[in-house]
Each structure stands twice: as structure tokens, then as C-alpha cells.
Structure 1
Amino acid sequence: MSVDSKVSKYTNKNKNLLCESVNLRRKIIKNETFTNESDHMDSEYEDVLLEKKYIKELTEKHQEGTKKVPKFLSAALKGLPERWKNWVVRLVFAIIMISAFCVLIAGGPLALMGLVIAIQVKCFQEIMQVGFHVYRVDDIPWFRQLTWYLLCISNYFFYGEYLFDYVGQPLNRIESLQFLIKSHRFISYCLYLIGFTVFVMLLVKKYNTRQFHLFAWAHVAILITVMQSYLLIRNIFDGLIWFITPSLMIIMNDIMAYVFGFFFGRTPLIKLSPKKTWEGYLGGGIATVVFGSILSYFLLQYPYFTCPVDYSEDADRIVIIDCTPGYLYQTQEYIIIIGNFQSIFNIQPFVLHSFSLSIFSSVVGPFGGFFASGFKRAFKIKDFGDSIPGHGGIMDRFDCHVLMATFVYVYISSFIRDVSPQKILTQVYNLKLEEQLSFYYQLENFLASKNLLN
């Protein structure tokens, strides 16, 4: 086949790519013959030509939840304009989601942990679904299963070690589980190596580039979903108030930004998301700060939200431990002195901390949504899925929670959390008997020197 005929086979498909075909012609002429390298260029150029086609197919096939109206609402909203119909659907399902969240709060820490895991799995599925459409490797056997395997071993690594710190004491009594506990990181690493080996074995010359892209895509999806869900559960163990307050702040900011933008929005905020306005951004931020203070004061009245979560041997499960509210949750006296002006007021320290959380959720939190909007715009899709009518996919509703989960964890680690006695005890239990005795005598001598044993 001549050089001209080989290039024209592609340029006839899309005249808009004429410039690219000329560049390819020059590369081919420079190489003079069609070697294996030029065949590789042909393959890459074919991908370029087909890219727009596949992106268009992705846009057409991808389900959008914002346009989805359930059957039970279709008849009632039949006469409304499209704009108001979408508003009503969003409102109805926002109320349903908030109500369901309140029910799960009443179910305790285990119910909330289950919710976090369920959201993590669904978000991962939605992100990967976009990846499979973009990189078109559906016909490679076991590749989709490999990504789910990576998700499972990531959960095993993150959650296994942390939960061993809380339920390690009863597990240490079971001799057969000693290796599992002590070698957790090694086992996790070996499991990952299995997945890595399988990936290499699945490599196909025709799809090489796409497979490596999707492999990296899966790791980023795991970082976004598993890591953030892990941090959310870490926050739950510090007290439900550290999970509920930031979550509801993000929800409130999202709702009020939409309301203010819907009724008063005039000034565009960011090009990535044309419907976002300064009016919605500022109105949602102010509403979140006010709501955060009121919510914090309300939750502080109940030890159910402030007491830590821990493993109970009597109940043989993870529960909220009965406690006397700590310093953060009891009213303290503060004095403000500015020159000759002096003011005294009483407030719980957590309310002041919640102010920091509300500022972050108002100012920085929405950028998680802007990032997701840019990601979706890159692939010309409006939503990650259609799980929630009027809202989109699960990832569409929890994109801002990703930043918030990390911030709360870092905030607690930096300003709130002390060393955990439970974690130290778990490490002591893993020592040999003579090492445990040595630890005991050293601790006894130290406490005696401080006159604390009497």
C-alpha cells in the first residue's frame, strides 16, 4: 500500500483532522518504510480519529440523574416548566436523603459505618464506569474484576489495621489469628502483588496504552473513595459529632447554594460550572456558618453525639461508650480584652471549632464539586450516574465530602486528638509475655515515682 493511500484511509473519515494527517504523512515519509514503529503510529493515530466518536457515544449512552423524573412524580409535575420540575424533584429527594441519614444516625456508629462503605463502593463503581467507557477495554476478560479486587484489598489494608486496634484484645485470645494480626501489612502487600501480576498477564498489545491508563485511573479512584471513607470512619470513632456536623454542613452548603443561585443567581462564579454563581456561593456560605453554630449547640446537649466510639467486651461489638462530656463539650468561660474593652462570655469549645469547620465547608468545600464538574466536562457528561433523580449519581452528591473528610481528620489530629490508650494497650498485648512484664514494671516504677499509685 502506498504512503498516500495509507494516510487517506484515515483522513477521509474526518476532514477536521487534516492537519494531523499531514503530520502523520511527514513521519511516515521520514521513516521511509512501514516498520513496527510506524504500525504503532498508525494505531495511535486511529485512536485519535476515533476519540471524538467514542466521547460522543459516551455522552449519548451515559445516564443522567438530573434529567430523571420518577414515575410517581411525572403526573404531578406534568404542567410545570422544566426548570421548576427539576427544582421540585431535587427538593423531594433531598428531603428523602436527609430523612434516611437521620434514621441511620439513630442506628448508631455501625449503621453509619455501613453507610460510608456503601457510598464508597457506589462512588468507585461510577468513577470506574466512566473510565471503562473512555478507555474502551470492556472486551478484555477479567479486567473489570481486577479493579474490584484492588478495591477490596485496599479496604482490607486500611480498615484491617485500624479495626485491629479496637477489637484486637478479643482477637489476641485466638491463637490462629495471631499471624493475621501481626502480619497484616505483609499480607496486604502480597495481595496487591497478586493483583499487579494479574494486570501484567492481562496486557494485550492492541490495548496496551489504554490498559495502563485505566490501571492508573483505578488507583486514583481508590485514593478518592477508599482513603476518604477510611478518614470518615476514623472521625466517627472520635465521636459522632465529628462525623455528623461536617457532613450536614456540606449538605446545607450545597442546598443553600443551589437555592440562592436558583432565585438570586446573576453573576457566574467559575467557567468549569456555568450554573454556579457568586450569589449562590456567598449565600450558601453564610447560611452554612449560621447553621453550623446552631447544629453544634444542639448536638452538644446529648452525650450520644459527644462520647467516643469504642469496642465493648460486654456487648462484644463497637458501641458508643457512656462518658462524662470532656472539656471540648462543656461550657467554658472566655475573656476578650481589646485595649480598655473587656468582655466575658461562656461557650463550649466545640462550637468554636465548628466555626472553623463551617468556614472550610463554605469556602473550600465547594471546590470539590468544581473539580468534579471539570472532570465531567472533560468527557462531556453531566452526571456520574442516575442513582438519585434530580441530583445525578452518588458521586455527584458526595464530591465535596472528599475534601471535608480529609480536613476534619487533619484538624482533629492537629488540634484535638490525644494519644489513644486503647491503641497502646493493643500494641502491648502483641508483645511477648516477658516484654509485657518488663513494660508493666517500668510503668509501675514510673507511676510510683510520681506518687500516683497511692
Structure 2
Amino acid sequence: MLELRYRGGDPGPGPGLSPPREGNAAGGDHETESTSDKETDIDDRYGDLDSRADSDVPEIPLSSDQTPEILQKALSGLSSRWKNWWIRGILTLTMISLFFLIIYMGSFMLMLLVLGIQVKCFHEIITIGYRVYHSYDLPWFRTLSWYFLLCVNYFFYGETVADYFATFVQREEQLQFLIRYHRFISFALYLAGFCMFVLSLVKKHYRLQFYMFAWTHVTLLITVTQSHLVIQNLFEGMIWFLVPISSVICNDITAYLFGFFFGRTPLIKLSPKKTWEGFIGGFFSTVVFGFMAAYMLSKYQYFVCPIEYRSDVNSFVTECEPADLFQLHSYSLPSFLKAVLRRETVSLYPFQIHSIALSTFASLIGPFGGFFASGFKRAFKIKDFANTIPGHGGIMDRFDCQYLMATFVHVYITSFIRGPNPSKVLQQLLVLQPDQQLSIYRTLKMHLIEKGILQPTLKV
């Protein structure tokens, strides 16, 4: 159990308080009473502060082993090292198989998967905070945490609906109201949660309550905003979702394998099991994998076409004329490669070149998300975020690197790839009033005539 620890001896003046003055003969009783009040105030202000050192942070009870009994029996004769290797391997293949199945089921199921992972990661991080400070019985902490999660999701996914489902929204009068005042409604919902938090403040718990308020908001920043970016990447084309995510998965697996069989040199103190051999082997393996995956996926419209919602068929479609990024181009080889390969040119999809940048980030910078998570777990003396996946820990343990990747891909697309999206502009035009549409039509027509693209019509 945790204890509220008071500072021993004289705590000294608190922020904004002057030291108590010594009393005099004339006003000694008054000064003594004033000093006593100040000391009491100081005790109140310092008594509820959490002044514990890292060594005082309570250990969260270790998660129980959730490995299926059939696997426990089958691997009972192995050492713990090899037993863990087989458990991780079997569960990894199972998760990859399920991921392929969800890809086959379509983009909407992938969006639901991202949302489900987001909620589970949020739950795991919030639960750690609740367990660490459970003895304080902070009022409304868990309820308000989940309320803020709903508010932030309402805001971000409402923005997505407004951007990509404009034609559908136009037909529904109720949705038009929600979209038109979406940001005001989102702010009002958040403001209600903010007021509930202020009303829940309790003496002796002020600092911890504000600490957990910040904990909740940082967790929202890590989970909700990043999952929103993942879905934004998905709308650009499934290939922008699959190649980065599979590159991180590939790096995670190959770095583990190289480290398991060849690892000798420790890489970072935060993760003692990580080695330079695994880091370097994972890098080269990931770049090769990303290059080959980009080549395979670039051939199919299902993966390269932006995901659009068609109101006439009431479903998502991935049909288009593939962009130049996914058309084969001939590239001249450097002189030293011409002699080795005995050819002058090579045919590649331009996206394969971009995949090198994505894979490089996944293998060099992506692991720092894992190191960050390792530092977080060490701070609270836990091995894993949860015990959801046997041999792997929690969902957050598997997706700690993915969040950095999602942000990088979104920034990469907006910086180097994406131009104006004609379909998105058209959807926004369709929700305007007729007079506004006519005004834009006349302006666009005059612009095209001035550029010589249209011939001016003769008025009789």
C-alpha cells in the first residue's frame, strides 16, 4: 500500500509564502497564532505531494502466464529460453495469418482493427496509472479517462467523415447538422469533461489528480492521434498502410532472430536483450523486405488506389487508374552496377524507391518507440503493459514502434507525395449551396479561358 509521506522537520516556506516572523511582547499571541496557521497551511500544501523517489514506486503485480495449456504441455521439455522462442514464434504466425485475413476482408475491417487496437492500448496505459495510484482512490479518474477518449475520438473521426463521406452526409439532414457544428459540439463535450474534472478535485489529492489528468491527455496524444493518422494513410491507398506496418513487423521479427542467434553486443541499457547484431541484421532485412513488398503490391489496384466511399453502391471502392507512382519506369544503372548486372537499365515502380525511405525509418528510428516503451515500463517496474498475447505481453508492447511510423508516413505523404485530391475537392463542392457552386463554376471557367484551355463562347 502507498503512503502519503510528510517531509520531516521544518518544511520551510512554501511557494509564495514568507518565513514566519518571531513574535514580540506586544503581539506575541497574535504572531504565534499566525505562525501556527501558516505551518498548518504548509502541511496541507506539502502533505499531499507525492515526494517519492523512483525506488519508492510500488511494483505492479506481475501478470499471470496466459499461455494456452496445450502449448505449455507441448513445450514442457524445453528450456525457458527456447520455450519462449517457440511461443513467440507460434503466436507471431497466428497474428500474421489473422492480419492477412483482415486485409482480405477489406479496408473497412482494417479501420475497425485500428480502432480496436487504439482502445486496447489506451486501456493498458490507463490501467497502469490506475494500479500505481489505486490506493489514493482518485474520484472519477477512470470514468473521466474513458469520457475524454470518447470526446477525442468523436472529434477526429467526425473530421474524417466530413472529409471522405461528404456525398453521403449531404443526403442525411441529421448528419448535416452534426457535421456543420462538429467542432463546436466536440469542444462542448470536452468542456463538460473539463468541468467534471474540476468539480472532482479533492483536498490532499490535488497534485495526483492533476498528474493523472496529464497522464490521460498524454495517453490520448499517443493513441488516438496516431491511430487517426494511420486511417488517414489508409485512405491514400492500402499500400501506404501495409508497407510501413509490415516493415515494422519485419524489423521486429528479424531483429529478434538475429539477436537470438548472433547477438553478443548490447545495444542500449533500456533494453538489455537488444543487441547491435540484431539491430543491424534487422535493418538490412527490413530494407530488402520493404523493397520486395512494394514491388508485389504496386501491381494491384486493390492496394494502390485511394479508398473512396461510393454513395451509389453504399460501400468503399478501390478502383482507379493507377498513379504514375505505381507505373513501371526504366532507370539507368550506375556504372559499377552495369558491369555486375550486365544490363544498362532496370524497370522499377517509383514507389519502390520511396519504400527504401519507409523501411529505413522503420528499422533505424522505429525501434526508438520500443526503447521509449521500455523506459516507461522500467519507470513503473513492470515487464509488459499487459498479458494479452502470450510471449509478447500486451497490445501496446507489439505496437509501440508503429505509432512513430504512422506519423512519419503521414508527414512523408504530405511533404513528398500528395498533391490536391480532385475527388476530395469535388466532394466539398457538392455540399455547397447552388449559388456558391455557380460562382465557383464561373470563376473556374474564366481561369481556363485565360489559360487557353477553353475557347470563349460567342454571345449573339
TM-score (norm 2): 0.87
Distance 1:138 1:118, change over 3 A: farther
Distance apart, 1:345 and its partner CA: 2.5
Once superposed, what is the RMSD of the aligned Cα atoms? Answer: 2.5
Match for residue 26 of structure 1?
Answer: 10
1:243 matched residue in structure 2 = 241
Q: Which residue of 1 aligns with 2:328?
A: 331
Q: Which residue of 2 aligns with 1:439?
A: 440
Q: Which runs of 5+ in 2 are unaligned?
A: 14-18, 21-34, 456-460
Tell me, yes or no, if structure 1 residue 390 matches structure 2 residue 391.
Answer: yes
Corresponding residue of 1:349:
350
Q: Report the counterpart of residue 424 of structure 1 in structure 2.
A: 425
The structure having more radius of gyration, on CA atoms, is 2
Contact 1:137 1:211 in 2 (8 A): no
Name the counterpart of 2:30.
Answer: none
Q: Distance in 2 between matches of 1:406 and 1:49?
A: 35
The equivalent of 1:124 in structure 2 is 122
Which deviates further from its counterpart, 355-364 or 432-441?
Answer: 432-441
Secondary structure of the residue aligned to 2:330 is strand
What's the offset of the Cα at 1:432?
A: 3.0
Task: Give me the whole-angstrom Cα distance separating, in 1, the residues matched to 2:320 and 2:278.
Answer: 41
Contact 2:84 2:391 in 1 (8 A): yes
Indicate the structure with greater helix content: 1
Q: Is the 8 A contact 2:298 2:326 kept in 1?
A: yes
Q: Which amino acid aligns with 2:133?
A: Y
Which shifted more, 119-128 or 67-76?
67-76
Question: Distance between the aligned counterparts of 2:190 and 2:155, measured in 1?
Answer: 10
Distance 1:240 1:175 in 2: 31
Q: Identity rate of aligned residues, in percent?
A: 50
Greater displacement, 175-184 / 395-404: 175-184
Q: Which moved more, 1:237-246 or 1:311-320?
A: 311-320
Contact 2:263–2:275 (CA<8 Å) still a contact in 1?
yes
- Displacement after TM superposition at 1:344 (Å): 2.9
Instruction: Report the count of equivalent residues.
Output: 428
1:42 maps to: 47
What pairs with 1:353-432 in structure 2 (closer than 5 Å)? 353-432=354-433
Deviations 1:137-178 (A, max 9, x none): 773443211111111111111111122121111212333333
Change (3 A) 1:51 1:205: farther
For structure 1, the 5+ residue unaligned runs are 1-9
Contact 2:57-2:380 within 8 A present in 1 as well: no
Which letter does structure 1 place at the counterpart of 2:45? H
Post-superposition CA distance 1:431-454 (Å, at most 9, x none): 333222111111222233445457
Does the C-alpha gap of structure 1 residues 179 and 375 become closer, same or farther in structure 2, counting only changes over 3 Å?
A: same
Alpha-carbon distance in structure 1 between the residues aligned to 2:396 and 2:132: 18
In the alignment, residue 314 of structure 2 is paired with which amino acid? D
CA gap 1:319/1:49 in 2 versus in 1, 3 angstroms? same
For the residue of structure 2 that corresponds to 1:274, the secondary structure is: strand
SS in 2 for 1:55: coil
* Deviation at residue 28 of structure 1 after TM alignment: 6.3
Matches of 1:62 and 1:422, distance apart in 2: 51
Number of the residue aligned with 1:265: 263
Residue 278 (structure 2) pairs with residue 280 (structure 1): yes
- Corresponding letter in the other structure for 2:325: L
Q: Give secondary structure in 1 for the equivalent of 2:179.
A: helix
CA change 1:253–1:50 in 2 (3 A) is closer
Deviation at 1:395, TM superposition (A): 0.2
Shift in CA distance, 49/324, structure 1 to aligned 2, threshold 3 Å: closer
State which drifts further: 443-452 or 163-172: 443-452
Alignment partner of 1:55 out of 48, 55, 58? 58
Matched, 1:70 2:102: no
Partner of 1:184: 182
Distance 2:212 2:239 in 1: 38
- Deviation per CA, 1:190-249, whole angstroms, max 9, x where unpaired? 111011011111111121111101111111101110111011101111111110011110
Question: In structure 1, what is the equivalent of residue 300 of structure 2?
Answer: 302
Kept in 2: contact 1:135–1:214 (CA 8 A): no
Q: Which residue of 2 aligns with 1:86?
A: 84
Cα 1:80–1:25, aligned 2, differ >3 Å: closer, same or farther? same
- Helix, strand or coil at the partner of 2:419: coil
Residues 1:168 and 1:82: Cα distance change in structure 2 (over 3 Å): same
- The residue aligned with 1:4 is none
**Hey, what's the Cα distance between the residues in 2 that align with 1:329 and 1:143?**
49
For residues 206 and 315 of structure 1, do their structure 2 counterparts lie closer, same or farther at Cα, with a shift above 3 Å needed? same
- Counterpart of 1:75 in 2: which secondary structure? helix
The normalised TM-score by structure 1 is 0.88
Secondary structure of residue in 1 paired with 2:83 = helix
Q: How far off its partner does 1:421 sit?
A: 1.9
Q: Which amino acid aligns with 1:288?
A: T
How far apart, in 1, do the equivalents of 2:153 and 2:384 lie?
26
CA positional deviation for 1:413 = 0.6
Instruction: Show CA shifts across 1:311-344 (max 9, x none).
Output: 1122212232x122211111112235679x9953
Deviation of residue 72 (structure 1)?
A: 1.6
Alpha-carbon distance between aligned partners in 1 of 2:448 and 2:279, rounded to the nearest angstrom: 55
* Aligned mates of 2:135, 2:302 — CA distance in 1: 49
- Describe the superposition over 1:414-438 as per-residue Cα deviations: whole angstroms up to 9, x where unpaired: 1111111233223323433322211
Go from structure 1 to structure 2 and tell me whether the alpha carbon gap of 1:138 and 1:119 turns closer, same or farther (over 3 Å shift).
Answer: farther
CA shift digits 1:36-72 (9 cap, x unpaired): 212332333xx4469856613x2xx2426xx542212
Letter in 1 for 2:298: L
- Does the 8 A contact of 2:287 with 2:360 survive in 1? yes
User: Which letter does structure 2 place at the counterpart of 1:36?
Assistant: D
Name the amino acid aligned to 1:25. Answer: G
Instruction: Give 2:329's aligned amino acid.
Output: Q
What amino acid is the match of 1:63? S
Equivalent AA in structure 2 for residue 204 of structure 1: V
Q: Alpha-carbon deviation of 1:186? A: 1.3
Within 2, Cα distance between the matches of 1:157 and 1:107? 27
The SS at the match of 1:25 is coil
Contact 1:126 1:385 in 2 (8 A): yes
